[in-house]
Amino acid sequence: MTEALDLDLVRRIVRAALEEDGAFQDVTTLTTVPADQRGIGAFLAKDTGVLAGMPLVVAAFEAVDAGISVRPKLRDGAPLEYGSVIAEVEGPLAPILSGERVALNMLQRLSGTASLTRRLVDAVEGLNSRIVDTRKTTPGLRVLERYAVRVGGGHNHRFNLADGVLIKDNHLAAGRARGLSLGDVIRSARQGASHTMRIEVEVESFEEAREAVDAGADIILLDNMDPPEMARCVEMIAGRALTEASGGVTIDNVRAIAESGVDIISSGSLTHSARALDISLEIETLRG
């Protein structure tokens, strides 16, 4: 079951997006749509994929006018086909129009992330690799994009820099400049971090992977290796640490990566390159 969003946080994010868009000073709508005019419409999928973001749609219309009713027809995680009716909205027309863009932006972007995640998850079905995201997220929207990854069947990596130790190439370069080996850097991290934290280290070769596991790393990140080299590392590590593949993951190569035996496959593309799903709000009827 997908971990639910913090609704108070959702409301704050949505409110900021509405203010950014000038939704409460929508001069076009204020000067062309009477306050007593009402409308009814439907969110329609014009694409295939996975739905994510309905709590934000509800929060957006709730923020612009409490008199707007949103009636979801599908829940987050539902498959979408062209023409799927996602939700109906009814109430005062002016605030519906003022909140429309923010609601759609959130729904389209999160559904795009959920849809891409589902494609990767489906591509490795039957294998043991877990698809996870990275910190390559839209600033301020990380919690939402990570939620969309979970809706799509994926998992989350560390939330932020305080969440876990991940020694990357620049950390290792800083250590080497001080005369430290890769193993020395791992041991330094182990000594300085809480005993409850795992130590992960990024490696670029079989030799570095061997040094990392011998130094006691908990997770070995195999960076930009080809599947045969990953498989060689996995065999050598032999369960002494978790293995994570990262770098250049695509729908075309993800199954070959998973077949190498890695435990985790991380992909920044889930959040930084997912194509927004095509969803529209069609106003079906208007009445005074």
**Higher pLDDT residue, 104 or 283?**
104
What is the model's pLDDT at position 284? 74
CATH homologous superfamily, domain 7-121+275-287? Quinolinate phosphoribosyl transferase, N-terminal domain (3.90.1170.20)
What mean pLDDT is predicted for residues 158-167? 96
What is the model's pLDDT at position 285? 62
| List of residues 6+ apart from 275 with CB closer than 8 A | 112, 116
Residue 162 has pLDDT above 90, yes or no: yes
C-alpha neighbours within 13 Å on the C-beta side of residue 91: 20
Q: What percent of the chain has pLDDT over 70?
A: 98
What is the model's pLDDT at position 287? 57
* Of 10-24, 63-77, 271-285, the least confident: 271-285
Q: What percent of the chain has pLDDT over 90?
A: 97
Residue 288 has pLDDT above 80, yes or no: no
What mean pLDDT is predicted for residues 153-159? 97
Residue 44 has pLDDT above 90, yes or no: yes
Q: Rounded to an integer, what distance in angstroms lies between the CA atom of residue 18 and that of residue 97?
A: 12
| Angle separating helix axes 93-123 and 54-64, nearest 10 degrees | 170
Q: Can you give 87-103 as a three-state secondary structure string?
A: EEEEEEHHHHHHHHHHH
Q: What is the pTM of this model?
A: 0.95
Residue 148 has pLDDT above 90, yes or no: yes
What mean pLDDT is predicted for residues 71-96? 97
* Parts of the chain belonging to CATH 3.90.1170.20: 7-121+275-287
What mean pLDDT is predicted for residues 88-111? 97
pLDDT band at 1 (very low <50, low <70, confident <90, very high): low
CATH homologous superfamily, domain 164-267? Aldolase class I (3.20.20.70)
* Parts of the chain belonging to CATH 3.20.20.70: 164-267
What is the model's pLDDT at position 3? 78
What sign does the dihedral 175-178-179-184 (CA atoms) show?
negative
By annotation, the residues acting in catalysis are 101, 136, 168, 202, 223
- Span 171-187, pLDDT tens digits: 999 999 999 999 999 99
Residue 152 has pLDDT above 90, yes or no: yes
The chain-wide mean pLDDT, for the chain, equals 96
CB 152 within 8 A of CB 52: yes
What mean pLDDT is predicted for residues 256-265? 98
**Higher pLDDT residue, 3 or 275?**
275
Only one residue has tokens 């877990």, namely: 130
